Structure 1
Amino acid sequence: MTQTTTSAPLIDPARLAALDWTDMPKLLGPLEELLDDLVSSPTWLNDAFDHVLRTPALLNQCERLQELDRVVLVSDKNSDVRVRLHLFTGSDFDRPHNHRWSFGSRLLHGSYQHYLFGDYEELDTETRIGTPALVREEKAGSGYLIRHTMVHTVASPPGTTSLIVRGPAEKDRFVVMNRNTGEAWWQYGQKAEKPEDQAKRRLGAERVEEIRQLLISQGAIK
């Protein structure tokens, strides 16, 4: 892997463009190889954090959600593929959801309970999903590939970290559900949000540096 453009630090954009997000079995091997390369590199994560901190367009995409802090390490505009670091902050929310995009994940530290409810091609806010069809414990070093139509949720202790490679957006919105209340609502991508709402969630350079220091303490960054 070589330094290429400011939007894709240490990853060849051609490698990202070659990922076939329409075929999950075909995608699994190349995506696992990419994640293997990123997590096994002694410098990649640290270099990526350096790049975020000196690139305002990336730093502005780093934000706090209800259950995790999200650091956008790579955002390749041509392929619409992004690489992100997730730090779970702990939450009592039971919020099954699908996604606007498919993604692959690799846990770096910690663990979480992963609840999968099934594949819902036409999910909307009136859909009732029932109980989980599959429950897994994801541990450090494990990973998975999930299609954007899969409804799932996770329960994680604070401090769990993972690396995510997400594919191109397949839709403008996704469904989030509260199983305790039965409520469900549409959630939209960042582009559809008001600037002031985006600004409230931004992590800022100080918090991004704190997350890097946590990864160093976890051994994910040497």
Structure 2
Amino acid sequence: MTTTTTTTATGLSEDQVLEIMHGLPAVDWDDLEAAHEITSQVAHRIGDDRALLRALVDRVPGVEALRQKCEIHTLDDKIVIWDAPDKGLRIRLRLANVKQYERVHNHRFSFTAYLLHGKYYHTMYATDQPLDETADVTRFWPRFVREERAGDVLTLHHNQLHTTLTDPDTISLMIQSPAQKRRAFMIRKSDGHVWWRLGAADEDEARKQEIRMSDERFAHWRARLAELDLL
């Protein structure tokens, strides 16, 4: 059998990229402290290596399973660059496209975020009430407030309530666990409106098409990442 090895403009071949990525360690997300240690190393391995990150972004259009996971949303977009659920490693870029408003929320998954560009204005919250449509927005209390800057790495449990206000072009490398629940809670601080973020398995086809990232939008972010000297 003959294998054709394609070398990208980065100088890394597909085989070299796969060798690096398949060699990443598995993550036990049940031990959040240990998960932070491992995912911090993984985040730096990818985020600090422009050639590798560029190769990962550039291969996405040719990997349909990844391309289908690239999405646009009101506040930020995402490009999934690697997905290894057996190792607890879904790796993506979070791309802030507008100045954001405060929405206290949790996640369906635990995650580590490595800020590559921009800032998070980060607040963690506590509450004493059920997280459902009856939630009172005045009963979410800030417990921890800090500014996360480019170069910082943070790991968060999927049940932690928080807000991350960002400016446009705040870019982070996200490493997330497999989903721990089917929906994530969100409440808008300005008016108390509650809604839920669902996973792909629970979204209808119309919603999937609505949030699917177009080729033009992908090209925009590819160019913007290069302009910001992240690739």
Normalised by the length of structure 2, the TM-score is 0.85
For the Cα contact (< 8 Å) 1:125–1:175, is it kept in 2? no
- How far apart are the structure 2 equivalents of 1:146 and 1:9? 28
- How far apart are the structure 1 equivalents of 2:49 and 2:99? 31
Unaligned runs of at least 5 residues, structure 2: 1-12
Q: In the alignment, which of 7, 12, 22 is matched to residue 22 of structure 2?
A: 12
Q: In the alignment, which of 36, 41, 48 is matched to residue 28 of structure 1?
A: 36
Aligned to 1:162: 172
Aligned to 2:4: none
Percent identity among equivalent residues? 28
- How far apart are the structure 1 equivalents of 2:220 and 2:194? 34
CA separation of 1:68 and 1:172: change in aligned 2, threshold 3 A: same
The number of residues matched between the two structures is 218
Q: In the alignment, which of 139, 150, 165 is matched to residue 140 of structure 1?
A: 150
For the Cα contact (< 8 Å) 1:117–1:133, is it kept in 2? yes
Q: In the alignment, which of 56, 70, 73 is matched to residue 62 of structure 1?
A: 70
Q: CA deviation at 1:215?
A: 1.2
Q: In the alignment, which of 213, 221, 224 is matched to residue 211 of structure 1?
A: 221
2:41 is the alignment partner of 1:53: no
Aligned to 1:130: 140
Rg larger for: 2
For the Cα contact (< 8 Å) 1:106–1:143, is it kept in 2? yes
- How far apart are the structure 1 equivalents of 2:156 and 2:33? 11
Q: Which amino acid aligns with 1:37?
A: R
Q: Deviations over 1:26-82 (max 9, x none)?
A: 222111111111112231111111221111221121111111011111112434531
Aligned to 2:49: 41
Alignment root-mean-square deviation, CA:
2.6
SS in structure 1 at match of 2:103: coil
Q: Which amino acid aligns with 2:110?
A: S
Listed as ranges, the matches of 1:67-216 within 5 Å are: 67-118=75-126, 123-128=131-136, 129-216=139-226
- How far apart are the structure 2 equivalents of 1:166 and 1:190? 15
SS in structure 2 at match of 1:78: helix
Q: Deviations over 1:153-205 (max 9, x none)?
A: 11111111110000011111111101111222233111211112111111122
